Amino acid sequence: MSIRVFIDGEAGTTGLQIRERLAGRADVELLSINPARRKDAAARAELLNGADAVVLCLPDEAAREAVAMIANPAVKVIDASTAHRTSAGWTYGFPELAPGRRAAVAAATRVSNPGCYPTGFLALAAPLVRAGLLPVDWPVSVNAVSGYSGGGRAMITEFEDADAPGHTRDAYRAYALNLGHKHVGEMQVHAGLSYPPIFAPAVGRYAQGMIVEVPLPLWTLPGAPTLSDLHASLAEAYAGERFIEVAGLDEARAMKGLDPEGLNGTNRLKLFVFGDERRGQARLVALLDNLGKGASGAAVQNLNLMCGLEESAGL
């Protein structure tokens, strides 16, 4: 028996990639709204309440409105917006984040899909906080660069369409310069930090792929942990995981550079511990596809768990 899935907002960047990952699967039946009735509240409500599972690929306010339209308690909901990522009653959909989280996602009827930047940051920081290597009150900094697809259709048009108003030829653009990025609260809450991290995001002139970095002055941390201590903590946290890999220290030492497009088209996340032991400095790096493990791939992984399907199906 197949699971009936409705993607509300399937025409957007994330929705299209979720649909692509689900199309053709024998265990999933995709439901779609008639394009002519897309703004018809009754037609949307019928699909939202008639599906076994709903994936919301909508702006925050529209996602909240969609949730309010669901009266059927049996419907499972995955929200890919930022609307519910720190909300009570919602399970944060990062199965590998902490012990017991996979089971919590599988048992949930309301799951918030993580943001792309927080996925990389939390994968690095959360295990270190749990292990006591990174104090909860530490002044954490996060530097990151994403492909322009992370900004949705408007930013894609801005970078790709030379005739569009606001077309840009920027090679690299730092943004959220006032430190008010909407992912900061999500990062703080799910890492268990006392204070919001300083988050410095940027977008590059390439469509897809992401690098997230956390620099750490080891000599100032309690116990002055070594690169090996950090690596061991991450390796233990993700031992046996099929989508998250921790690169060996020898591999990291031998690398001369890192391509942000290196995991595009996958649901994989790869973590690296770089640094200089003599200076007591570490550079923790996460590599992922902002539309894979950072969005659509993660949503499909969560959907599989919630519906009792093979976790890696379609991935």
Helix (H, G, I), strand (E, B) or coil at 62: helix
- Tell me, yes or no, if 57 is annotated catalytic: no
Catalytic residue among 33, 47, 78, 116: 116
Angle among Cα 21, 26, 27 to the nearest 5 degrees reads 80
Cβ–Cβ under 8 Å, residues 128 and 191:
no
Q: How far is the C-alpha of 291 from the C-alpha of 298, rounded, in Å?
A: 9
- The sign of the dihedral angle between the CA atoms of 259, 248, 115, 107 is positive
Report CA-CA distances (Å) from 209 to 125, 255, 258, 287, 300: 20, 18, 11, 8, 18
Q: Are 75 and 54 in contact (CB under 8 A)?
A: yes
Question: Do 156 and 148 form a contact (C-beta atoms < 8 A)?
Answer: yes
CB 266, CB 289: distance < 8 Å: yes
Catalytically active residues, by annotation? 116
